[in-house]
Amino acid sequence: MHQKKGEKFELPTWKSLTGIDSDYTELSYQHKNLATETSLSYRIRAKNRWCEGSYSKPPMVIETARAPGRVGTPSSTVEPQSGMVKIEWEAALPNGSRINSYTIQLKDGTGEWKETSECSIKDRTIYMSTFGSSSRLYCRVHMKTLEDNYGLKFDDLVQIQIKAANLAGSGDWSFVNTDGARIQDKPGKMEKPSRGKQTAQRSLHVIWSRCKARCTGNSIVLEYILHANSGQGFKEVYRGMDNNGYFERDAVQGQRYQFKVKAVNVYGEGEFSDVAEFTTGAVPEVMKSV
């Protein structure tokens, strides 16, 4: 068996691998310790007791392993249940050698690229998607990591670049995403509650405006918390998503009540609103005759 190796600026040469110094009767051969990114041609001939035959034609051409191909442009979303950023990408072409790692870098608040340790084949934190393409991979990064370790601020775009590596080396960086997940946070400060139209002589109806835009923290509001104070300090009187607001039943006539409200999302509780004060109605005094 002969191997031909082509080198730049040199004529190709054939090199004997086996069967010259001693007979070789196996039907396969393992060629080890090959250089990467090399094109090799192989030819073989048989011999018997009388003579050697002609070499096989055409030669068999084999390319040794090359660095992986470029990873496709990554995408990202925020998982509503966990609040984590899910990063997805198409697996790179292995080019003859199993991919042993992916490097995921995120751009920090100063514009520098920093590698994330939350996505690693070795640590089994890179997963294969169970939907759609079987070559699509993903990992997750905590929102707090992006804020604390990368200095990203509310509504900043999470920018990502990824490259793959195998035994032949590292491939090219992917193109950077131009859309996708943005930094989310706890809800902002809500507007203070107001008196509802169903307020009566012995009942206070308290309503509030639902969070919108910045107030939501860019995340789904899960519930609202209402605290009330009737003179003995604030305490929670309502928690939920009821569109009808809150009713303070059996309110004392002429009593002053205070209310404040805040929103909750997957990242925690927001800031309380300013305090709203309401006074229940009182029965008019009996008028004197004139």
CA 162 to chain centre: 13
Residues 157, 234 within the same domain: no
User: Considering the domain boundaries, does residue 5 fall inside one?
Assistant: yes
* Structural domain range at position 21: 1-64
Residue 289: predicted pLDDT:
61
**For residues 125 and 117, is the Cβ–Cβ distance under 8 A?**
no
CATH of the domain at 104: 2.60.40.10
User: Considering the domain boundaries, does residue 123 fall inside one?
Assistant: yes
Q: What is the pLDDT of residues 201-235, one digit of tens each?
A: 778 899 999 998 889 999 999 999 999 998 889 99
Residue 9: predicted pLDDT:
46
**Model pTM?**
0.73
User: Considering the domain boundaries, does residue 180 fall inside one?
Assistant: no
Q: What is the mean pLDDT of each run of 10 residues along the chain (290 residues)?
A: 53 77 83 77 86 86 85 95 95 90 96 94 86 80 96 97 93 97 96 89 88 91 94 93 84 87 96 92 54
User: Considering the domain boundaries, does residue 189 fall inside one?
Assistant: no
Categorise residue 281: left if φ over 0, alpha if ψ from -120 to 50, beta otherwise. beta
Q: How many structural domains are present in the chain? A: 3
